[in-house]
Chains A and B, each alone.
Chain A
């Protein structure tokens, strides 16, 4: 199974950062960010389960644990990589319902789509992508520009997308910001028939071309 080795959430924070703060109250960002909030919740479940198994092991095996039962480092790393990948995916959003059944998209895939659209603009490097939690409205209130031909699709309402980008010093920042916005809107419409209500572009840095 191919794995993405990075552990960066769509908002730009890493799983490791969330994990490092797991014993403390959530930060202001973690409180407001749906991706970090979901990751924190999953990691808390993981920690509780791990602690439970460790207690069981301590009670069943006593102080001398059986080393033969411990997974090899490579196996353990592989499992942790899969676990991180699963946490990064976030929740699944219903984006269409055909006659054969529903089509879902993970939050991570949605963020990847937006990041790819921003990165496709010459002179732009996408940084943090954040979005308000997509809301599934009642069927019949579809907001996408490309209505599902199968009908009956749930309407996914995306209030706000924010793309933080760095731009080359050789390009006009206002012009590329407009282009990035257009690319994001077109990509969301073409791929998942979602029409966001607002796409905010924040140019937060310049880089040498």
Chain B
């Protein structure tokens, strides 16, 4: 997640809002039929290690959901592993729809949702 206005550690603000939004989006994406899991990148994995070491709640890139907030609109990127049991394009389209629904529920306009299927599982 890359907040436009990061805050100081320990203070609630846009950065933590972005973190919370990304977590909600991640949960929604994982509930989509055909999605087996989010796919963190190496950067995300290292970030998670750093999060544990530093005991921080600040946003960490590469966890499978990236949110770029700009006032009332959002650009979202999602990296997932999907099941081969469902057509990949159907799964990806539903992920986009679910992400848009979560954003709309929060009063945000969705500018773009990029879905990357990194792994296909039997």
Instruction: Determine the residue in chain B with the shortest Cβ distance to A148.
Output: B89
Find chain B residues with CB under 8 A from A40 CB. Answer: none
Instruction: Determine the residue in chain B with the shortest Cβ distance to A95.
Output: B89
Within 8 A of A (CB), among B70-108: 82, 84, 87-89, 92-93, 96-97, 99-100
Interface flag for A151 (CB, 8 Å): no
A108 to chain B, nearest CB (A): 7
Question: Are B89 and A100 closer than 8 Å at their CB atoms?
Answer: no
Instruction: Determine the residue in chain B with the shortest Cβ distance to A192.
Output: B88
Instruction: Determine the residue in chain A with the shortest Cβ distance to B38.
Output: A1
A185 to chain B, nearest CB (A): 15
Secondary structure at chain B's binding surface: helix, strand, loop or mixed? mixed
Find chain A residues with CB under 8 A from B97 CB. Answer: 100
Interface flag for A20 (CB, 8 Å): no
Question: Are A104 and B46 closer than 8 Å at their CB atoms?
Answer: no
Interface flag for B42 (CB, 8 Å): yes
Give the docked Cα–Cα distance between A108 and B97 (Å): 25
Given contacts A86-B42, A108-B118, A116-B122, contact A100 B100 (CB under 8 A): yes
Question: Are A100 and B113 closer than 8 Å at their CB atoms?
Answer: yes
Interface string of A71-104 (1 = CB under 8 A from B): 0000100110011001001001001101011111
Question: Are B92 and A103 closer than 8 Å at their CB atoms?
Answer: yes
Find chain B residues with CB under 8 A from A75 CB. Answer: 49
Instruction: Determine the residue in chain B with the shortest Cβ distance to A112.
Output: B120
Question: Are B87 and A101 closer than 8 Å at their CB atoms?
Answer: no
Give the docked Cα–Cα distance between A98 and B84 (Å): 21
Interface flag for B114 (CB, 8 Å): yes
Give the docked Cα–Cα distance between A105 and B119 (Å): 8
Give the docked Cα–Cα distance between A103 and B114 (Å): 6
Question: Are B40 and A83 closer than 8 Å at their CB atoms?
Answer: no
Interface flag for B23 (CB, 8 Å): no
Given contacts A1-B40, A98-B93, A193-B89, contact A103 B115 (CB under 8 A): yes
Instruction: Determine the residue in chain B with the shortest Cβ distance to A187.
Output: B84
Find chain B residues with CB under 8 A from A4 CB. Answer: 119
Given contacts A79-B46, A100-B110, A104-B115, contact A190 B120 (CB under 8 A): no
Question: Are B93 and A109 closer than 8 Å at their CB atoms?
Answer: no
Find chain B residues with CB under 8 A from A92 CB. Answer: 116, 118
Question: Are A191 and B89 closer than 8 Å at their CB atoms?
Answer: yes
Question: Are B87 and A104 closer than 8 Å at their CB atoms?
Answer: no
Question: Are A106 and B117 closer than 8 Å at their CB atoms?
Answer: yes
Find chain B residues with CB under 8 A from A79 CB. Answer: 42, 45-46, 49
A-B contact pairs, 25 of them (CB 8 A): A1-B37, A79-B45, A79-B49, A89-B118, A96-B92, A100-B96, A100-B112, A102-B114, A103-B92, A103-B117, A104-B114, A104-B115, A104-B117, A105-B117, A109-B82, A109-B117, A109-B118, A109-B120, A112-B121, A113-B84, A113-B88, A190-B87, A191-B87, A191-B89, A192-B89
Q: Shortest 6 CB-CB distances between A and B: which pairs?
A: A101-B112, A100-B96, A104-B116, A103-B92, A191-B88, A109-B120
